[in-house]
Chains A and B, each alone.
Chain A
Amino acid sequence: MNVNQSAPPLPPFGQPQPIYPGYHQSSYGGQPGSTAAPTPYGAYNGPVPGYQQTPPPGVSRAPASSGAPPASTAQGPCGQTAYGQFGQGDVQNGPSSGVQMQRLPGSQPFASAPLAPVVSQPAVLQPYGPPPTSAQVTAQLAGMQISGAVAPAPPASGLGYGPPTSLASASGSFPNSGLYGSYPQGQAPPLGQGHPGAQPPQRSVPPQASSFTPPASGGPRMPSMTGPLLPGQSFGGPPVSQPNHVSSPPPQALPPGTQMTGPPGPPPPMHSSQQPGYQLQQNGSFGPARGPQSNYGSPYPGAATFGSQPGPPQPLPPKRLDPDAIPSPIQVIEDDRNNRGSEPFVTGVRGQVPPLVTTNFLVKDQGNASPRYIRCTSYNIPCTSDMAKQAQVPLAAVIKPLARLPPEEASPYVVDHGESGPLRCNRCKAYMCPFMQFVEGGRRFQCCFCSCINDVPPQYFQHLDHTGKRVDAYDRPELSLGSYEFLATVDYCKNNKFPIPPAFIFMIDVSYNAVRSGLVRLLCEELKSLLDFLPREGGAEESAIRVGFVTYNKVLHFYNVKSSLAQPQMMVVSDVGDMFVPLLDGFLVNVIESRAVITSLLDQIPEMFADTRETETVFAPVIQAGMEALKAAECAGKLFLFHTSLPIAEAPGKLKNRDDRKLINTDKEKTLFQPQSGAYQTLAKECVAQGCCVDLFLFPNQYVDVATLSVVPQLTGGSVYKYACFQVENDQERFLSDLRRDVQKVVGFDAVMRVRTSTGIRAVDFFGAFYMSNTTDVELAGLDGDKTVTVEFKHDDRLNEENGALLQCALLYTSCAGQRRLRIHNLALNCCTQLADLYRNCETDTLINYMAKFAYRGVLSSPVKTVRDTLITQCAQILACYRKNCASPSSAGQLILPECMKLLPVYLNCVLKSEVLQPGAEVTTDDRAYVRQLVTSMDVAETNVFFYPRLLPLTKSPIENTTEPPAVRASEERLSNGDIYLLENGLNLFLWVGASVQQGVVQSLFGVSSFSQITSGLSVLPVLDNLLSKKVRGLIDSLRAQRSRYMKLIVVKQEDKLEMLFKHFLVEDKSLSGGASYVDFLCHMHKEIRQLLS
C-alpha cells in the first residue's frame, strides 16, 4: 500500500528536478543534475518521469487557465498568482491548480524553461483527480493535517469540500488515512495515529475536528503529499520547497515503513513532507519565492461557522489538532537546505528572497548586499502605505554591517577615492552605488535615492556603453557590488584629525568575590597569552591596538606598564566620586614593547589581592575612568569589564538591590527592565561621544541588576556576558572561550551608521545596541561582527513598481588599525501593488527577529501582558489580511497561512513563551534582563535558533554518518527514551539521555556502565576513544563553533531534576510557566484571525 501511495507522491518529487532547471535554468543551468536533490529523489525518480510526461498538459493548461501566464512571469503579476492559489482555488479549483503551477513557472523570469516544469505540475495534478483544485487541496490539506487523525472523516471532508473532484481523489486517499495502519500512505497514517493517540482532545478539538477533518485534509494530504509536493516543487517551491520535500521524505518519510511501525517517531517527517506539500501547492502560484501560503484547516469550532465543513467536523470534534499536521520548522528548514543550500545565492536580481539563515549557502555579490549583511522581512514592499497598513507586515531590515563572511567569500573591497573622498549625491548624500544612473554620456549621474542630478567630477568621468552603463562598471566595486568600503578622508574624522589606533582597556574587579572564585587568577593567566591575539587588520604583523589595565574594588587601580619600567606601577584613585585618569604616559601601551612589564603585572595582580577583604565594588566610575583614559589618549577603544557584584560602594552609579519578584505580571514589571538611575545613560552618552565601547563580563553570585549594568554596554555597542555563580572548575572553558572570541574579534570603533532609502520609505525605528542622538544616525561606540541593527521602515510616499525600493546602509567607522572607513551596503527591493506579492516574499525568520526586538523593547514601557497581546494581535492581523486578500475563497473555518509565514505562529509562540515575556519561576530578574539585551542585537540566525532550539537526535543515525543529524521538533513527544539528544539554542547546550538508552551507548559516551551512574549536570563529556564519543564531541564542538558565544554543556538525564530546565526549551510543548503549546497557540491564532475576519 505504502508503496503505491508513495509512488504517486514521488512523481511530484521527481518533477521538482525538472522544475528547477526550469526556473533557474537561466541562472543555474545545470542544477537539475547538480543539485543534491537528485540523490534524495532517487527513490522518486521513478515517478519523476511520470511527471515529466504530465508537464505538457500542465503547460497547456497553465496558459489557458491563467491566461496571464506571461504576467505571472513577473512576480509582480503575481497579483494573480498571489491570490492565485487561493483565489484560484476558490474560483477554479481545477484550473487554478494548473494555473498556479503554470504561474510559478511563468513567474520566473525564464519563461521558456519554466513552462516545461509547469507542465509537469499539471501532470501531477492529473494523477490525482483533485489536483485541479490545488487551492482547495491546500485548504483541504490544512484541514487534513489538522484532522489528520480524523482520517475517518474523509468522507465528510469530501463532502465539505466544494471541489468534489479533489475530494474524490482526496477521499480516495483518505480512506487510506483512515486505515492508517493498513494504509499505504505512510505519511498520512502515521500522522493520524500519532495524533489521535498521543494528543488528548483539547478545547480546540471540536473545531479542529470539524475544520480539518474535513477529510479534506485526509484527502488533501494524500494529494498534498503527492500532488502538492509535486506542484510545490514545480512552483515557487521549486527551488526550495521541492527539494525539501524530496529530501525529507527520503530520510524519514521514505521509511513509510517506519512510520507505519513507529507511528510516534516517524510522523514528523511525514508531516513535514505533507506540509511541504501545501507549500508546494501554494508555491505553485509563485515562481520565484517559496510557496506563499499553506492552509491549515482550522482546528476550531469555527468549523461550525463554515457551512461546508461543519458537517464533517462534528464527528471529529473530540479529536485534537495533529501536531504532525501543522507546519514544522524542521521541515521548512530541511527543505530550504536541500533546495537552496547547494547553489550560490547570486545577488544580482532585485527583490530575491535569500535562502533561510539555517541554510548554508554561498553568496555572490552582483550588486546587492549579501543577506549576511542585510535581511529584510519582505523583499517586496507594498507601494503605498495603505497597503502596508493593511497588511500589518512590518517592513524591516536586519543589518549586520560588519558581519563575518565565510572564507570562501571575499570581504568588501576597499575603494580609495583619494583626496576628494567618496562620491556622493549632493542632495541626499547617498554614496555612489551600482544603482546610480549615469546620464548625459556619463557626465552626470542621477541619484537613485532622491533623483537629484549630480555632476560627475572630472577625475571620475567615464564613458557609457550602449546600455548606458559605465564602461568601467566592473572595475569599480562601487558600481558593481552590493557591499564595498571607501577610505574616508579627514573630513570624516572627529575633530578633522585622522584617528589614532584604538585601545583596549581591561578592567578587573578584584574584590573578595572575584578573588575567591579564582576569576582574577584565571583571567590574568589568560590575558598573558591572549594579548598576542588582539585583532589586527588584514595581513598586519602586529596589532595596532594598545592595551591598558585597571583593577578595582571600591577604588580603582591604574597601572603604568611603560616599557621602560622595570616593574609596573600601580596608581590608586580613591576619588570615585569624581573620577579621573591619573596617568597618561604608560597606561596604554603596545603589547610587544611592554611585554615584560605586562607579564609581571599580570603575575602580580592575583598575589596583590589574594588577601583582600574588600567586598564592595563600584561600577560607573570604572567605566568613567576607562572613558576618560581614552579621552586623554584621544582615541577610541573598548573596555573589557570583569565585574562580580552589585555596586553598592558609595560612588556615582551606586545601586541598591531592587529585585522583587512580586512585580511580575503587574504594571510595574517594566521597572525591572529599566535602569535604576539615569546616571548610566548619561555615562553611556559620554562613552559614545568618545568612541568608547564597553564589554561587560558579569560573574554574579546573586542579583547584580543586569538591567542597569547593561545600559552602558548596550548603548555603546558592547556585549554583556553573564556567568552566574562562576566557579573556575566549571565555567572556565566557557568564560575563556567567550573572552578569547570577544578580544579577538574584529571591531569597528566610533562608528556612525546611516540608512538611506529611496523616496517613499524612510527608516523610522532602530533596534540594537547603539545610541542615537538624533532620529537618523545610529551611533556605535563599537561595532563587531556579531552585532546587528534592526531598522524599521515606514512609507512617507508612494513607491513604484518599476523603480523598486533601495536601501543603502553606510557605516563610518575606525578600523582596528585606526583607519577611518566607510562601509556601504546596498540592497534593492521590489515593490508591489498586490498584497499577495508581499506575502510571497516574506521572510518569517527576519520577521520574528523584528517582532522579538520590538516586543523586548516594549517591556521597558508597557506591561508584559500588553506586549504579548500586541504581538498576538499583530500576527493575527497579518494572517487575517492574507486570508482576506489573498486566500479569501476558502471557507472561513480554515486556517490558511501564507507559505512564507507558515512558521510565524510557531515562532511567535516561542517568542511569547520566552523568559522575558513569560518568566518561569526559576528565571531570575537578571536572567530576563540579560536575555532582553542579548536579543536586542541578535541577528536572524541567532534569534531563529534562540527561540526555536535545535534538537538533534544523536543515536538515531548510524554512527558512521558524520553529517549533522537532522533535527527533530522541539517537543517532548519527539524524544524517545532510548535515545540521546542534543539541544542548543545559541546560549545553552543540553545533552538529554533517555532512561533506556543502551548500555553500550552509555559506556561509550560517558565511560560509565549504566544510566544511573551518569552524573546529572555533567558539563564535560569524557574523552573516550570510540566512534560515538568522538562523533558526539565533534558535533558539540561544531555546534559551539557556529555560535558567537560558547555554550556550556549540561547533561540531563531523563526523569532527573534537571530535566525541568531542559523541558523549558521544548518550545512546542506547553510550558510550565503557562506558555501555550504550539497546537494550542495555533488554534488560538486561528480564532483570532476568524474574529478579525468576521
Chain B
Amino acid sequence: MATYLEFIQQNEERDGVRFSWNVWPSSRLEATRMVVPLACLLTPLKERPDLPPVQYEPVLCSRPTCKAVLNPLCQVDYRAKLWACNFCFQRNQFPPAYAGISEVNQPAELMPQFSTIEYVIQRGAPSPLIFLYVVDTCLEEDDLQALKESLQMSLSLLPPDALVGLITFGRMVQVHELSCEGISKSYVFRGTKDLTAKQIQDMLGLTKPAMPMQPVRPAQPQERPSVSSRFLQPIHKIDMNLTDLLGELQRDPWPVPQGKRPLRSTGVALSIAVGLLEGTFPNTGARIMLFTGGPPTQGPGMVVGDELKVPIRSWHDIEKDNARFMKKATKHYEMLANRTAANGHCIDIYACALDQTGLLEMKCCPNLTGGYMVMGDSFNTSLFKQTFQRIFSKDFNGNFRMAFGATLEVKTSRELKVAGAIGPCVSLNVKGPCVSENELGVGGTSQWKICGLDPTTTLGIYFEVVNQHNAPIPQGGRGAIQVVTHYQHSSTQRRIRVTTVARNWADVQSQLKHIEAAFDQEAAAVLMARLGVFRTESEEGPDVLRWLDRQLIRLCQKFGQYNKEDPMSFRLSDSFSLYPQFMFHLRRSPFLQVFNNSPDESSYYRHHFARQDLTQSLIMIQPILYSYSFHGPPEPVLLDSSSILADRILLMDTFFQIVIYLGETIAQWRKAGYQDMPEYENFKHLLQAPLDDAQEILQARFPMPRYIHTEHGGSQARFLLSKVNPSQTHNNLYAWGQETGAPILTDDVSLQVFMDHLKKLAVSSAC
C-alpha cells in the first residue's frame, strides 16, 4: 500500500492531481457501482520551482476537434517525424522546428518527467496587470483609516507598470480619475440606479474607437491608455497622486440619521467597476477588489434596507422565504459575476464588519471569477491587514502568486468523458467529444474559465467512464487525461500549462483489490464534500445530508467486509478506514450545517472550501488538534471531547480559526503566574510552544485564520467545543467519568454513535 501512497504523493507533487481512484474501473456500470465517482482534485498552477517554462509554443494535434498537446504518452515516429495523438489517434507531422528530433534528442514535452510542462507564448505584447480598488467609505473613522493605510501600502507592492484604478462608494459612487494634476477629479454616479455597461462607458467618456470585440492585443496598448488612462494608470506614474488621494479619502459625508444604516451602493459600485474594465480592458487580467464594511443598503443589489430596526436576513428568514431582497440582489451580482467572468476579470471581496455584509448575495462574484473572499470584523485587524498583504506575496521568482484569465481545457481518452468541475470557475460551454451528458458540478463543457487563480486554487473535476461493459479494454490499457491551462502569468506573459496523466484500467471483477487499494480516501472525501457543498446551492440542507449518508452507506456496503445483518462484523480496509470519519465531520461542518452560522459565514466557508487544495480542504472538514503537555512533544490527538484535558494545551486548526485552548489546570497555573517564575521556565516554554506553532500556520495560510487564544471556561472555547466529537455530553457524562475529558453540551451524535448506525445500515440488506 505504501507504494500507492507514494505514487499518489508523487503524482500530486508533479502534476498537482489527486484522483479518487488511481486504478480505474473499466466499464461504466462498474464505475457507477464504485459509489465515489472517478474524479480528481486538480491544482492547475501548482507551484513547481523545478519546472522552468519552455519558451516555445506547444505542438497541437491537427484534428480540429481534438487539438491535444504533444505529450510523453504519444507515440512518436522519429524517422518519419510523425506523432500519434494518444487521445484521437490522429497522426501528426512535427512542425519544421522539430526537424532535429530523435530518440536521444527529445523535446521536453516528450520526456516522461514532464508530464506537466509549461509553455510561454511569445506572441503579442504583454498586457499589464490591473487592480481596481472599489472602496466603501461608509466606515467608521478608524476602520477607514486602517483601510486607507492598507491600500497605500499595497501600492508599494504592485509592480510599477501595473495599472491601478480607484472607485469609492457610499451613497454615491465615485470613479476617480487619476491622471490629472492639481484638482482631483472623479465621476460620480447615483447609487440607486442600475446602469448598463454601455451607459457607464458613455458616462465615463469611454467611447471606444470602433474596436471590434476580439481580444486584439497588438498595438493596442499604445492607443488604449488614451481612452482609459484617466481611470487606470500605471502605478509608477501616479503613485504619489494616488497615495494622496487615498489619504484625503473622507468618510461618506451624507448624514446618517439615527436608527438608520448608512446608504451603501455596493451593487452600483461593482457594476461600474465591471463596466469600466469591460469597456477598457476586456480579456486582460484584472482584479476588482471590493472593500466593504457593511451590507449594500440601496440600489440594485441591496441586501437590507436602511432601517436598523430591520435586521439583515438570517438563515431562518431564508428558510421562511422571508428575505425580501435576497433573490433580486443575488441576481444582480450573478449577472455582474458572469459579465466579469466573460471579460476575464476577477472580483475579490474584502468584507470587514461585525454584522453581515451580504456575502451570501455577493458570493458568486468571487466564486465565479476566481476572486478572493475575505471576511473579518474590522479593517483595523491584523486578520485583514495580513491577509491583504499576502495577496501580493511573491513566489521564488519574484512574481505574484496570482494568475489571470485562465481557461482550463480537459481532454480525455475515449473511454472517459468529463462530467463537470467544481471550483472557482465558469463554464465556457464548449461541447466536444469528451463531454459527458451527465453533469456533476459545472458540466456540459470541456472548458472552464478561471479568471483569477493562484498556485493553490484547486478544482474538482469529475469524470464518467463511458466504456461499455461488453467492450473490455485490453490488459495494460491506460486511460489518459490531458489538462491544458491557458493563463496570463503575473509577469503578464501568456502561458500554457499542460498536464497529461494516465491511469490503468482494471476490471472490477478480477481486480477489485487493486482498485480498492488505489482508492485515495482523502481525495475522495474532499471530492464528495465538494459535491455535497455544490448541492447545497440548489437543495435543502437535510437533503444533502441524506444524500451524503446514502453515498457513505453504499460505499461501506460495497467495500466493507461484513456478514449480513451483523454490525459487529463490519470492517473496512485501510484505504477506506478514515473515510467515514471524514464524512462524520463533514456532516457537522459549517459547509453543510448552517446552524450557528450566518448566511454570510456559510457563504464564506463554502467559498474557501471550493478552492483550497486537498490538505487544506481536509483540515476544513476535520480540524487538526494538537495537544501540548509536559509529558512529551506535541502530539496530534483525536478531535474528540476526550482530548480536552485539564493539564493540556490544545491547538486546533480548523483552517478558518486557530484556537489555542488552555486546559483548566494550565489556565490556573498561568493565572497564578508560574510562567514568570524562573523555576517554572518549562511551563513558560510549554505555554509558548503552541503559540509558535500557531504562528507558523498563520504565516502560511491564506486567508489569515482567526486567531483565538482561550482557556477552559472561556467564552471563545466554544470554537473548540463545537468542533470536537461530542463523545461526552451531558447525556452520557456520568457514564464516562469526569477526568477523561470535557463534556459537550449538545444533542449531536458522537462519532461512536454515528459509526454504530453506519455499521448497522451497511450490513442490513434493506438498503
Contacts and interface: CB of A to CB of B under 8 A. Distances in A.
Given A555-B203, A574-B205, A575-B190, A582 B172 contact: yes
Contact of A568 (B183, B195, B205): B183
B186 A567 contact: no
A584 B253 contact: yes
Contacts of B146: none
Interface in A567-621: 567-575, 578, 580, 582-586, 600-601, 604, 607-608
Nearest to B193: A578
B174 A571 contact: yes
B644 to A, nearest CB: 54
Contact of A582 (B174, B184, B255): B174
Contacts of A578: 190, 193
B183 A604 contact: yes
Contact of A573 (B182, B187, B205, B250): B187
B547 interface: no
B236 interface: no
Interface string B239-277: 000000000101001110000000000000000000000
Contact of B183 (A555, A570, A575, A586): A570
Contacts of B185: 557, 569-572
A558 interface: yes
B373 interface: no
Contact of A567 (B183, B202, B253): B183
Interface string B175-207: 001001011111111100101000000111100
A570 B203 contact: no
Given A578-B193, A584-B254, A585-B253, A573 B183 contact: no
Given A555-B203, A582-B174, A571 B253 contact: no
B253 A586 contact: yes
Nearest to B172: A582
A663 interface: no
Interface string A541-578: 00000000000000101110000011111111111001
Given A574-B205, A575-B203, A582-B172, A569 B253 contact: no
A1083 to B, nearest CB: 65
Nearest to A650: B202
A555 B205 CA distance: 10
Contacts of A585: 250, 253
Interface in B157-187: 172, 174, 177, 180, 182-187
B172 A574 contact: no
Interface residues of B, number: 24
Nearest to A601: B183
A565 B189 CA distance: 22
A571 B203 contact: no
Given A574-B202, A575-B203, A558 B182 contact: no
A607 B253 CA distance: 29
A604 B182 CA distance: 8
B254 A565 contact: no
A166 B248 CA distance: 94
Given A574-B205, A578-B193, A569 B183 contact: yes
Contacts of A555: 203, 205
Given A565-B248, A582-B172, A574 B203 contact: yes
Interface in A507-563: 555, 557-559
B508 to A, nearest CB: 65
Nearest to A584: B253
A567 B193 contact: no
A607 B248 CA distance: 23
Contacts of A600: 182
Given A582-B172, A584-B254, A586-B253, A571 B186 contact: yes
A566 B182 CA distance: 9
Nearest to B250: A585
Nearest to B255: A584
A571 B183 contact: no
A582 B188 contact: yes
A580 B203 CA distance: 14
A53 B172 CA distance: 89
Contacts of B174: 571, 582
A572 B253 contact: no
B204 A574 contact: yes
A569 B182 contact: no
B253 A575 contact: no
Interface string B358-383: 00000000000000000000000000
A554 to B, nearest CB: 9
Interface in A1055-1074: none
A574 B255 CA distance: 24
Nearest to A632: B254
B250 to A, nearest CB: 8
A586 B177 CA distance: 19
B190 A580 contact: yes
Interface string A43-87: 000000000000000000000000000000000000000000000
Nearest to B204: A574
A575 B189 contact: yes
A571 B176 CA distance: 9
Nearest to B245: A569
Given A582-B174, A604-B182, A604-B183, A573 B188 contact: yes
Contact of B186 (A565, A569, A575, A607): A569
Contacts of B193: 575, 578
B169 to A, nearest CB: 11
Contacts of A608: 180, 182-183
B187 A574 contact: yes
Nearest to B184: A569
A360 B528 CA distance: 101
A558 B185 CA distance: 9
Nearest to A558: B188
Interface centre among A558, A568, A574 (most CB of B within 10 A): A574
A555 B206 CA distance: 14
Residue in A573, A575, A600, A604 with the greatest tally of chain B CB atoms within 10 Å = A575
Contacts of A566: 248
Contacts of A573: 187-189
A585 B254 CA distance: 8
Contact of A570 (B186, B204, B205, B255): B186
Contacts of B250: 585
Contacts of B248: 565-566, 569
Contacts of A575: 189-190, 193, 195, 203
Contacts of A572: 177, 185-188
Contacts of B187: 571-574
A548 to B, nearest CB: 14
A574 B205 CA distance: 9
A182 to B, nearest CB: 83
A560 to B, nearest CB: 9
A580 B193 CA distance: 11
A567 B184 CA distance: 7
A570 B253 contact: no
A567 B182 CA distance: 6
A832 to B, nearest CB: 61
Contacts of B202: 574
B348 to A, nearest CB: 26
A583 B203 contact: no
A559 B183 CA distance: 9
B209 to A, nearest CB: 15
A566 B245 CA distance: 11
Contacts of B190: 575, 578, 580
B566 to A, nearest CB: 74
Contacts of A558: 188
A570 B180 CA distance: 10
Given A570-B183, A572-B186, A574-B187, 11 more contacts: A557-B185, A569-B186, A572-B177, A573-B187, A575-B189, A578-B190, A582-B172, A582-B188, A583-B172, A583-B253, A584-B254
5 contacts: A557-B185, A559-B183, A574-B202, A584-B254, A607-B182
Top 6 A-B residue pairs of the complex, sorted by shortest distance between their CB atoms: A574-B203, A582-B188, A585-B253, A570-B185, A572-B187, A571-B188
